[in-house]
Each structure stands twice: as structure tokens, then as C-alpha cells.
């Protein structure tokens, strides 16, 4: 297909195209697509996954950075082309509003073989800014999948894991070796399924700020890391005590719900001290 269109693969755009049907099948099984689903796809490439999704859903809205690919996609997706909305451009710069305008409605799922350079960012972005997306089924580098699913206290657990866990739970995963792509990447990959939580905290953005401060200096105690980020030590001490968190602990050993508690106690402590003064 690429030869016929006179196109070359672009390494800098993470163009490792899927060439194995059983991987597509595995993605579809995890996605559990419904006929009223509106799927957001980042990087449809030459449409291998897109073609498989189009007949199963109401619409696919896809963002593709490589401006030479739309004619190829028009050909591969011709059969169900009326269900495809294609936005040329960089997914990192496409506003949710643009997606909704192009699709005519809000996306319900994100299903993609993601370009690895932007994978971690777009996943958290979709969870934070597109609440209509209830499920993500994404192919990522295995190392990113490990960070997404990491447990507190493990090496892979970090600010990214804790922030993502405020919004979603990992409910599925399978491994994908390099031989399933053309050209084969130098790393192992994995497909992960993330389901949006029903109990996303209202103040998730504020909790994310606390998480960033707690992990800012990963080797330091949480008290030192957060005070280096501008939190007052006496406010921190009061909040740690009220939240039942040892100030000598490191951020990597705290579960996401402990960060939620800490943020609530920080707000309470600040409110109490400002109402006394």
C-alpha cells in the first residue's frame, strides 16, 4: 500500500504499523465496542485498526500527524468511510472541542496503537480532559504499561501512576512482541485497558499538584520534597498528622487514595489557619 502511494515510513513519527490480525482481534476484544460507541483513534496510520473498528461503531474520529497518509486512509477505509472523521494534525494540539465538532458528538472510547513518543501524555490528557471517554485500550511501550499499572512501593510507581489512578483502573493487558509490527520496534509493547473510575475525586487537579510536589525529589522524604516545592512545614506537619501519614515516608510508598486524603487535610489546615487569623 505504501509502495503504491510512493510513501516511506517515518521513524520520528513512531510509525510501526501493526501487521498481525490476532493483535487487532485482541484489541477489539478488550475494547468491547458497541454500535453506539464513538471511538477516538490517535495515529490511524494506513488504517489497519481503523478498518476493523469502523463497521462495529457509530463513528471513529481519528487524528493523524502524517499529512501524506489521508489518501491512503481514504482508500483502506472506503467501505465505511462515511463513519470516519479524520483530523490532520498533532494529537497533542487538538482540543477536545475540535474532536467533538469533527465527530458531531463526544467520544466514548479511546482505542489506538499509540505513537510511543506521545503515548504517556495523551493517555493522561484524555483521562483529565475528556470525561466522556469511559475506556481506553491502547498499545504502548511495555515500560509505559508497567508504569501505568505499577503498585505503590515498586520501581515503576511514580507521579504518573498515582495521577492516572485518580481517574482510571487498569482492567486488562496483553503483551505484544516486536515481530507484530512493520518495521519491528526495538522495544516490547503491551496493550492495556483502562476503565474510567466512577468515583474520580472532584478536586483531582489539586490532588495531582500534591502528587507532583511529593514526587519532585523522589529520594527525599515526602515532607522535604513538598517543602522544597513551597509548602509550609507546619502546615505539612498538621496535614500529615491528620491524614495519618508518616512525614518521613517517601512518595513512592503512598497509594493514590493517601494523596487524596493528604490534599483534603492540606486544604482543611490552610482553611483553619486562615479563619483563625
Residue, CB closest to ligand SAM: 43
Burial of 96 (0-12, 13-18, 19+ CB in 10 A): middle
Q: How far is the CB of 71 from ligand SAM (least distance, A)?
A: 14
| C-beta neighbour count of 223 within 10 angstroms | 19
Residue among 42 and 77 whose Cβ is closer to ligand SAM: 42
Between 131 and 184, CB nearer to ligand SAM? 184
Write out the residues near ligand SAM by the rule CB under 6 A: 13-18, 42-45, 48-49, 63-66, 90-92, 113, 115, 118
Contact 170, 194 (CB under 8 A): yes
Task: Supply the minimum distance, in Å, between the C-beta of residue 112 and ligand SAM.
Answer: 6
With CA atoms as reference, report the closest residue to 251 among 164, 154, 141.
154
**Residue-by-residue DSSP string for 189-218:** EEEEEEEEPTT--TTHHHHHHHHHHHHTTT
Q: Taking the complex as a whole, how short is the minimal distance between the CB of residue 12 and ligand SAM, in angstroms?
A: 8
Q: How far is the CB of 275 from ligand SAM (least distance, A)?
A: 47
By beta-carbon proximity to ligand SAM, the closer residue of 76 and 264 is 76
Q: What is the C-alpha separation between 131 and 107, in angstroms, rounded?
A: 9
Residue with smaller CB distance to ligand SAM, 55 or 244: 55
Amino acid at each position: 500500500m505504501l509502495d503504491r502511494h510512493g510513501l516511506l515510513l517515518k521513524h520520528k513519527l513512531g510509525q510501526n504499523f501493526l501487521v498481525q490480525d490476532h493483535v487487532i482481534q485482541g484489541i477489539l476484544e478488550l475494547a468491547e465496542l458497541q454500535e453506539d460507541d464513538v471511538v477516538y483513534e490517535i495515529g490511524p496510520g494506513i488504517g489497519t485498526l481503523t478498518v476493523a473498528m469502523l463497521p462495529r461503531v457509530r463513528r471513529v474520529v481519528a487524528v493523524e500527524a502524517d499529512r501524506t497518509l489521508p489518501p491512503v486512509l481514504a482508500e483502506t477505509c472506503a467501505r465505511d468511510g462515511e463513519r470516519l472523521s479524520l483530523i490532520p494534525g498533532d494529537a497533542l494540539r487538538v482540543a477536545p472541542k475540535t474532536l467533538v465538532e469533527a465527530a458531531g458528538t463526544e467520544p466514548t472510547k479511546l482505542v489506538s496503537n499509540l505513537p510511543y513518543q506521545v503515548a504517556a501524555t495523551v493517555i493522561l490528557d484524555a483521562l483529565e480532559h475528556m470525561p466522556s471517554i469511559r475506556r481506553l485500550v491502547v498499545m504502548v511501550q511495555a515500560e509505559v504499561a508497567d508504569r501505568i499499572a505499577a503498585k505503590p512501593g515498586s520501581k515503576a510507581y511514580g507521579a504518573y501512576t498515582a495521577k492516572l489512578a485518580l481517574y482510571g483502573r487498569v482492567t486488562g493487558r496483553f503483551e505484544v512482541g516486536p515481530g507484530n509490527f512493520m518495521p519491528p520496534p526495538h522495544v516490547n509493547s503491551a496493550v492495556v485497558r483502562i476503565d474510567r473510575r466512577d468515583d474520580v475525586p472532584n478536586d483531582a487537579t489539586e490532588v495531582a499538584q500534591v502528587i507532583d510536589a511529593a514526587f519532585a525529589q523522589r529520594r527525599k522524604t515526602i515532607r522535604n520534597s513538598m517543602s522544597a516545592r513551597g509548602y509550609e512545614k507546619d502546615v505539612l506537619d498538621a496535614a500529615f498528622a491528620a491524614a495519618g501519614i508518616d512525614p518521613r515516608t517517601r512518595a513512592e510508598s503512598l497509594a493514590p487514595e493517601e494523596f487524596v486524603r493528604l490534599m483534603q487535610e492540606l486544604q482543611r489546615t490552610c482553611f483553619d489557619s486562615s479563619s483563625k487569623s
